[in-house]
Each structure stands twice: as structure tokens, then as C-alpha cells.
Structure 1
């Protein structure tokens, strides 16, 4: 109960931008403030950034060029509360994963992977497989591959299947090898 009250007070300070001691500036001219102590406690990257001789330490301004403010705000909310309320929105878990990877926030990375595992479907499985492979997310890559193989008949005529062959032949090869494992053994007498 006491922890909940503390979190609510910290979140209140964030939402109302009270006593913020760092400002994140975005390409679209927007900005959002935060509290260095919260960021440093949650991320080794932020801790190092604000304890060094980097310009961010002196200016208390950080320019964010690789994330939209709506995603970064969810990231900050997670750092304050251990919860990202909009994580289930389309594409949000992937974007939050990338931020959590960049800023070394392991618990958010795990939550994003858990969310992505629940979001696998026919429409996104190939894209998810490629993305998981690129980010070396073994469990997501493995589940996506199993899902792809299980639903091969529904996927093989989609443009994404052809794109997988052209752009990611290593993943295409793994998929066809797993498909081959499902075929019945042929006899040598034929």
C-alpha cells in the first residue's frame, strides 16, 4: 500500500511536470520533463549519462531522435511505475522493446516480449519473425517460427512469404527445414 502511494506521488509529479530536472526534446518541437533520480534508478544507461561529463549532465537536456514522444512517454511511465498502460496498442510493444534495449531496462524488455508473444497472428507472424531474429529474441523467434510452420498453408501465398525468401533467405531456409520435418518419411523403393 505504501509503495502504491509513493508511486502515485511520483507519477503525479511526472504528469504535472513538477520539479523535473531533465528535459527530453523531440524532432517535432515537443518536449517532456522527467526526474534524473527515477531515470538513473531504472536504467544503467541513464545513470551513466547523468554521472559523466556528457553535455546532458550539464545542460539537463536530451535530444531524442529515434522515438516518437507518445512512445517515449510510455517508456517514462514504465520507469516511474513498472507499467506501460498502452503497451498492448498496435506496434507499441516493439517500440518499447527497442527503447528498453537501448536504455538497458531489462524488466520492460521481458514484458514487451511477453506481450508480443500474445499478439502473434497470421497477419504479423512473418514480420514478427524477422524482427525477433534481428533483435536476437530467441523465445519470440522460436514461437513465431512454430506459428509460421503450423499455419504454412495460410501463409505460403501471401506476399510476405515471398519477401521472406528474397530478403531473409536464412529464415526462409529454417522455415522450409522445419516444414520438411513434418512431412512423412518417403520410402526408398519408389
Structure 2
């Protein structure tokens, strides 16, 4: 290394992904990254050399009263010299985090030399909290959605829907029907309000047809509108149907919840689909996060074949925007 070149390193991150980029690396150095937040927890990466290079992922110490945290994640080291080349991969699944000073951290031993410029990438597949008293671990990424629901609806309305109390309109899904209430639907959706106020067929027939939604997805959609009793697993199962209905019937808070959820689990296997969803339903934050994931984090190189197919088939306006971002990023390198 040129003696005038100092080692530089910086962490970039999304909701589940952290990339620690190191330039002008000196193989004798011990480095520690700045803290980065995944979920509600702070983490650091440490790189040092013993017989081999060792990478440690270190969680911040927390009070002893904290619920146990269970992590699933994968790590990758990517050389940036002469193009991008993966030097090492590793992963852990459902391992409990030890916060104590003496506890064993997540440690990877590299059996390959490191180049002058490289990235250490950690992608969290899931983080779960488990009650010390037992019970099923719960993903930390489900908690924000649950809280949002509670803030948006009144729990007592749930019985109106589930027990069909004094219903005055019928929602016809593709494979079934559900009784509902104009007085609940109208305040939550300007589209429903317009249907029931003006002389439209929905007002005359006391029915709303949603032929592009299954009865299960329709139940989840109405459960969100009425109360806070939609399970997070049901939300994930029907998330795209819920987004489509939220957009169609102008339920803004549900649309926001879907966008936030789609941002949280962007990955190489879904980023191009998410990008098209963002464009289709006018989700600007999701679009920005997808482009950032592809360009800033270099994931476009991991899905080159799929990206080429995307360029050929996707909307021209969207493709042009993505390509412009790529060109701008490469000019800045």
C-alpha cells in the first residue's frame, strides 16, 4: 500500500442489509466498523488477523431483562479489485444472540487472502424475539405493522364483521361473500363512500363486487378496515392483494403499511418484482429502496441475467430511470 493512502471504511445499510466497504486495506490492521442499526439493535463488525482473517459481528450490550434475540443471517466478502468477485460466504440460522461481554459472538474465519478493496456484507434473513417464559418466537419486523394497525382501528368493530352483526351490504369476492357495513367502510375509503352516496349500482344492489380477490384476502382486507385483528401472517400471505385493494379503494394507511412491509424484506430474489410493484402502485419509497439495493449495494451484479430480462420487458419509463441511476452511480465511482 502506498504510504500516502489511508485506510477508509464506511457502512451503508438498508433495513436488513449492511455493507462495510473497506478501501486501501493493510493486512496487518485491525478494523472496527461504525455501529449500524438492524431492527432496534446496534451492531458492529470487527476484522482482525490471527493465523487467518477473522470477522466478528458484535451486538451492542443490553440489559439483562431484554427478551432473547434469535438471528438468521448470511455473510459475504466481495473483492472490488478487477471487478466484483465473491471471496467467501457463510451463514447462521436461528442462533440466539449472546449479549454478554464474554459471550461468543458471530465469528467467521476466512481461509482466503483479502484484497486491497473489498466489502463485508451481512444480510439479516430474520430477527426474532422469544419470551423467557416460552412461546413461539416473533419476528421483530412484524411489530411495527401490529402497532400501526392498533393506531388505525377500533378493536370493538371486529365483532361487527366476524359475527355479521346488522350487516347492510355484501362484498362478493371471487370465491365467496362477506357481509359488511356501509357506516364502517365509507369513513375508511372515499371510493366506498362514493359508491354508497351516489346513485351507483353498489348503492342500488347493496353489494360490492371484488372479483380479483379471494375470500381469504377479502376477509383480511376487511379485518384491517374494521379493527386490529388481522394476524401478521395473514398480512404477509395476502400482502400484494391487500396493496392492490388499498390502492383501488384508497385506503391510504393500509397502502403505507404494505409499502413499509415490502421495503423491509427486499432481497435479490424479489427486488425486480418489487421495483415493478413500486412503479405500478406509485410507491416512491419502495422504488428508491429497490434502486438503492440494486445500484448502491451492487446487487445488480448478482442477478445480471434476471436484470437483462427486466430491461427487455419492464415499462420503458421505469427502465430508463433505473439505467440512469446506474450510469450516475458508475460515473461517481
- Point out 4+ residue stretches in structure 1 off by more than 4 angstroms: none
Q: Is the 8 A contact 2:154 2:228 kept in 1?
A: no
State the shift of 1:69 in Å: 1.6
Structure 1 unaligned regions, length at least 5? none
Which of 301, 306, 309 aligns to 1:153? It is 301
Per-residue CA distance 1:54-83 (angstroms, 9 max, x = gap): 122122122221212211111111111156
Q: Is the 8 A contact 1:49 1:56 kept in 2?
A: yes
Per-residue CA distance 1:119-153 (angstroms, 9 max, x = gap): 21110001111121122211111110111122122
State the shift of 1:171 in Å: 3.7
Q: Is the 8 A contact 1:43 1:105 kept in 2?
A: yes
- Give the RMSD, CA atoms, in angstroms: 2.5
1:23 aligns with 2:170: yes
Q: Which residue in 2 is equivalent to 1:166?
A: 312
Change over 3 Å in CA distance of 1:104–1:156 after alignment to 2: same
Instruction: Give 1 or 2 for the bigger CA radius of gyration.
Output: 2
Give the structure with the higher percent strand: 2
Residue-pair matches, total? 178
Give the structure with the higher percent helix: 1
Note the 1:32-181 alignment, pairs <5 A.
Answer: 32-81=178-227, 84-85=230-231, 86-89=234-237, 92-149=238-295, 150=297, 151-157=299-305, 160-168=306-314, 169-181=316-328
Q: Is the 8 A contact 1:39 1:79 kept in 2?
A: yes
Q: Is the 8 A contact 2:155 2:228 kept in 1?
A: no
Q: Is the 8 A contact 1:24 1:63 kept in 2?
A: yes
State the shift of 1:9 in Å: 3.2
Taking structure 2 as the reference length, the TM-score comes to: 0.49
Q: Distance in 2 between matches of 1:83 and 1:129?
A: 30
Change over 3 Å in CA distance of 1:185–1:18 after alignment to 2: closer
Per-residue CA distance 1:91-132 (angstroms, 9 max, x = gap): x32221111111111111111111111021110001111121
Q: Is the 8 A contact 1:164 1:171 kept in 2?
A: no
Q: Distance in 2 between matches of 1:139 and 1:71?
A: 25
Q: Distance in 2 between matches of 1:49 and 1:23?
A: 13
